[in-house]
Amino acid sequence: MNPLKRLASQTAVYGLSSILGRFLNYLLVPLYTYTFVPADYGVVAEFYAYMGFLAVLMTFGMETGYFRFRSKGDDDPNTVLATVLRFLILVNGMFLALAVAFQQPVADLLRHAAHPEYIWWVAAILAMDSVGNAAFARLRAENNALRFAGIKLVEIGANIGLNVFFIVLCRQAFEADPESVLGRLWDPDIGVGYVFLSNLAASGLKLVLLTPQFRGALTGFDGELFRRMLRYSLPMVVIGMAGIVNEMLDRAALKYLLPYDDATNMAQLGIYSACYKLSILMTLFIQAFRYAGEPFFFSYAKQRDAKQVYALVLNWFVIFCVFIFLMVTLYLDLFQYFVGSDYREGLRVVPVLLLANLLLGVYVNLSIWYKLTDRTLLGAWVALAGAGITVLSLWLLVPTFGYEGAAWAHLICYGAMVVLSYALGRRYYPVPYDLLRVFGYIGLGLALYAAGRWLTDQAGWNPFVAGSLLLAAYLAVVALLDGRTLLNARSGSAQGAEDEVASSDVAEATATAPDGAHRTEQHPRAPRQASARQTLSRKTTFERRHGRAGRPQATMRPAATEPAQRRIRRPNLSHLDLGLAVAAALLAGLSLAFNEADKAPLYLLLAYLLWRLSRRR
């Protein structure tokens, strides 16, 4: 099988299992928020934030080290796996034993003195997941993507099923008859702890399903190999920790930074964490892009137009992300039912979190500079800088602005990482990104969101009508500015396919031609005629494949004659100015229609200035 096709198919399987699994886990949020009060859900959010940090620490980067030393071929693959597995079993076993022994002091330290059992339940989940990651690494190294995805989905299905069983069926049976069979399985004192118990059982089931991958890998520890692997893997822990700080530190630190009592702080944490989940669509799109984008960036890096294509990819990535931003924010009155009514006071952070995740996606695009140039250490420094900015922003903003400050800390962090990554990329791998277009679309999205809020809050419009009109306006602007580029790209792909077919037909015809066509010594005039035909055929085939760019510089034609697929159309900023002028004129008309005449002159002046600017361009 072609290696690129195999990579694409495996990427699809791994990506589908991860994205689908994450989406299914998000479906538990309505169950939790409609069942538990915010303070109880805050306990879930807090402990899973701790687990995010400990999951990076307790694997010691050995998963990456396993791939590295297995692929080198200097050591036996079973010995490499045995070295990793025995180390992880030893370390995580000691961690679990310490958690059991010191569960009460740790619970007192975390202000959960009434539930010390939470400590060792979470530790057991982490230990089983860390050991299971080694088995999953073996499946990936052996290209067993289907088994990998199947076990992942079984684990997720078991977790969801047990949550529904305990929190819905057993709780309802207890409320109806505490002495019933199912009612006896529900203990009100455990309450939210059933979330951890469900996860614990699902992790145990996963470990049982992975036992075939442990066969032949429990003996053969190599001390010298272990030292080499540890030197290689430990820096991965630092990089992973920086990423987790940027992503999850807010939920781990809110309880300690908010200026209220413990009960109120936990309730605020629960509200913020539930509303954070409303950015699921943006998160899933970025994760899917990562799975598909990174293989594409590496495989396309040697093409002549790679940098131009990377710039075009960022343009369309931002277009789709702004569409997701508008779809969630303009229809927030519908998406709010994803969480319980007690949590909806925190909906105001959703636009900020969506915008922060959009900037994270931009950073993912920009980060190709250190991946393609093997400057991963510089990339790690960018992540560490982002972690420092996150810590400082949380410390400064949360005590004053509450969980809204945590949302803005995300935005500040990812915005700074975008700036740093772009500046370093300009030095080491300059890509001609169209910044005006990229940030123009982001600005357009923010303007349409603000217009939607004004139409619903001030003008009294139906939110679904206003949202639909503004979303249609965004799509119209995209079609006006970039629709032709997309059509050119499609026609270019079709033309490229036709060129390949034509060139293969020429080669086939030449290969299958009668022998007399090549034996020219028997016909004195044949060499001159055959040579002319062959020269013309070769010239035509070369130009159809490569365009005029392959001709000598002295005879090269202007760039305008190059094939469409080799051109990246420069943006016509006058179209953007004209579109914004139309939007401003529309707002002027709406202000007159809804008794806001004092604002109409400002909108008209803005529309006139934008129109004049479009004319000058």
In angstroms, the CA 141 to CA 217 distance is: 14
Q: Has residue 405 got a pLDDT over 70?
A: yes
- Of residues 546 and 28, more confidently modeled: 28
Which of 78-87, 88-97, 296-305, 566-575 has the largest mean confidence? Answer: 88-97
What number of other Cβ atoms are within 10 A of residue 611's Cβ?
A: 18
Q: Across the chain, what does the average pLDDT equal?
A: 79
Model pLDDT, residue 586: 61
Model pLDDT, residue 161: 94
Domain ranges of the chain: 1-237, 258-451, 454-483+571-616
Q: Has residue 614 got a pLDDT over 70?
A: no
Model pLDDT, residue 296: 73
**HSE toward the beta carbon, residue 342, CA cutoff 13 A:** 18
Q: Has residue 425 got a pLDDT over 60?
A: yes
Arithmetic mean of pLDDT, 166-190: 91
Model pLDDT, residue 63: 77
**pLDDT > 70 in the chain, percent:** 74
Arithmetic mean of pLDDT, 375-402: 89
Model pLDDT, residue 173: 93
Q: Where is average pLDDT lowest: 11-15, 301-305, 362-366?
A: 11-15
Q: Has residue 163 got a pLDDT over 60?
A: yes
Query: What's the pTM?
Result: 0.72
Q: Which H/E stretch holds residue 54? A: helix 38-59
- pLDDT category at 217 given cuts 50, 70, 90 is low
- Residue 184 phi/psi, 5-degree rounding, is -70, -20
Q: Has residue 434 got a pLDDT over 50?
A: yes
In angstroms, the CA 325 to CA 11 distance is: 26
Q: Has residue 519 got a pLDDT over 50?
A: no
- pLDDT category at 10 given cuts 50, 70, 90 is low
Q: Is 120 left (phi over 0), alpha (psi -120 to 50) or beta?
A: alpha
Q: Where is average pLDDT lowest: 39-43, 148-152, 218-222, 528-532?
A: 528-532
Q: Which H/E stretch holds residue 224? A: helix 223-257
pLDDT tens digits, 25-42? 788 899 999 999 999 999
Arithmetic mean of pLDDT, 319-324: 93
In angstroms, the CA 81 to CA 218 distance is: 8
Arithmetic mean of pLDDT, 369-395: 86
Model pLDDT, residue 285: 83
DSSP assignment, residue 112? -
Model pLDDT, residue 561: 41
For 459, the token pair is 């003008």
Model pLDDT, residue 295: 60
pLDDT tens digits, 51-70? 988 988 888 878 777 777 77
pLDDT tens digits, 76-110? 777 888 888 888 999 999 999 999 999 999 999 99
Model pLDDT, residue 404: 92
Q: Has residue 3 got a pLDDT over 50?
A: no
Q: Has residue 505 got a pLDDT over 70?
A: no
Which of 258-262, 520-524, 603-607 has the largest mean confidence? Answer: 258-262
User: Which residue do the tokens 């579109």 mark?
Assistant: 579
Q: Has residue 509 got a pLDDT over 80?
A: no
- Of residues 410 and 144, more confidently modeled: 410
Model pLDDT, residue 493: 45
Model pLDDT, residue 359: 93
Q: Where is average pLDDT lowest: 45-49, 208-212, 282-286, 485-489?
A: 485-489
Which one-letter amino acid corresponds to residue 36?
F
Q: Has residue 514 got a pLDDT over 50?
A: no
Smallest Cα–Cα separation from 199: which of 170, 168, 157, 171? 157
- The contacts of residue 29 (CB under 8 Å, 6+ apart) are 274, 277, 338, 339
Which of 273-287, 290-304, 539-553 has the largest mean confidence? Answer: 273-287
